[in-house]
Amino acid sequence: MFIIRPGINFASFTQQHMFKTPLSALRFIGNIEGISYLLLLGIAMPLKYLAGMPMAVKIAGSVHGILFVAFCWALIRVWADRRWSFGKVAMAFISSLLPFGTFVLDRKIREEEVAMEKARI
């Protein structure tokens, strides 16, 4: 079992902090999905075409595919929970298709959350 600090279980840590809301889950999964996309494009694809190692794309592509589906599922959950407009959901989806797009999306969501917090105070 993975321990972050002595006495803290990783599973309970993620449930309490990272996936507190559908939006926090989307941000977390989006960042992991973005990293997997960059690894696929920047490492696995060159290994396949320049070094003749097609297995790199099979592995990285499979991992990225699972994370992409998880991102889409998390996006649907946020759409239902936050009642985002279709346009906002479409832009979030398109961001997942572009390299570095999910990182830009994460920054915009974070800025939106900060603005909402300031409006509450």
Answer whether residue 47 is part of any domain: yes
As a whole number of angstroms, the distance between CA 50 and CA 29 comes to: 30
Between 87 and 6, name the one with better pLDDT.
Answer: 87
Tell me the residue range of the domain where 92 lies.
Answer: 22-120
Name the domain count of the chain.
1
| 54-75 pLDDT, tens digit each | 999 999 999 999 999 999 999 9
Answer whether residue 12 is part of any domain: no
Name the residue type at position 53.
Answer: M
Contact 74, 105 (CB under 8 A): no
Which residues touch 75 (CB under 8 Å, ≥6 apart)?
Answer: 26, 89, 92, 93, 96
Specify the pLDDT at position 112: 86
Answer whether residue 28 is part of any domain: yes
Name the residue type at position 106.
Answer: D
Q: What is the mean pLDDT of residues 2-22?
A: 58
Could you tell me the pTM of the whole model? 0.80
Nearest-5° Cα angle at 39, 51 to 42 = 55
DSSP, collapsed to helix, strand or coil, labels residue 8 as: coil
Answer whether residue 13 is part of any domain: no
